[in-house]
Chains A and B, each alone.
Chain A
Amino acid sequence: KAGVTQTPRYLIKTRGQQVTLSCSPISGHRSVSWYQQTPGQGLQFLFEYFSETQRNKGNFPGRFSGRQFSNSRSEMNVSTLELGDSALYLCASRFTGYTDTQYFGPGTRLTVL
């Protein structure tokens, strides 16, 4: 079974631009979560989508948004990029149950200049 895939793997943007990241979950997984990883803040939860609905949201500004499609693929959008948005963005998928393990993709490395 293929793992979680994320595209693109690397991205360079400038301040003020917007960016869209994509995540394809493991086949059959219906929950997709997004995390931001930085050296200073560690792993921070952005949001979780399940069956095309946002089920949980972390403490990030409204510039960070996401969506999930009917095939469970998810996109994350960041508008008006700031230098502090430079990070590794990780997507994780799991089946449906509360005890189900999250499986992570390789991440998208975003650099904002």
Chain B
Amino acid sequence: AQSVAQPEDQVNVAEGNPLTVKCTYSVSGNPYLFWYVQYPNRGLQFLLKYITGDNLVKGSYGFEAEFNKSQTSFHLKKPSALVSDSALYFCAVRDKDNYGQNFVFGPGTRLSVLP
């Protein structure tokens, strides 16, 4: 069965500092991986995805994520955090080798960027 873990409920970072939001996954086959962000009273907004190819994926708003197969991780990063990045972040996985399986989301990590 697929699963996603986001080991930190909350991440606090000062504005201008680099940020990392962690994600590890478990699938029986190979993964498709996604990051979404949710602002208060809004739906989820797509940030980036890994399908194949380069392990470093660049996405919207200066975010990037690195796929690490050996560590089954897909951590979200940004070199310089903004206060406006404060939101709830979700990692999601889909099993490439089990067509028909739906997306599985992690529990979410709340990011607070302090001015």
Asked if A71 is an interface residue, CB under 8 A from chain B, the answer is no
Given A4-B43, A42-B108, A43-B90, does the pair A101, B103 have CB atoms closer than 8 Å? no
Partner of B44, one of A58, A99, A104, A109: A104
Query: Which B residues from 49 to 80 make CB contacts under 8 A with A?
Result: 49, 51
Contact present for A101 and B34 (CB under 8 Å): yes
A-B pair number, CB within 8 angstroms: 50
Whether a CB of chain A sits under 8 angstroms from the CB of B94 is: yes
Chain A interface size band reads 20 to 34
- Is A55 in contact with chain B by the CB < 8 A criterion? yes
In the complex, per-residue mask of B86-105: 1 if CB is within 8 Å of any chain A CB, else 0:
00001000101001111111
**With the chains together, A70 CA to B46 CA distance in Å?**
26
| A interface majority secondary structure | strand
Contact A45 B103 (CB under 8 A): yes
Chain A interface residues (CB < 8 Å from chain B): 4, 6, 33, 35, 42-43, 45, 48, 55-56, 58, 90, 92, 98-99, 101-107, 109
Q: Which residues of B contact A (CB under 8 A)?
A: 32, 34, 36, 41-46, 49, 51, 90, 94, 96, 99-108
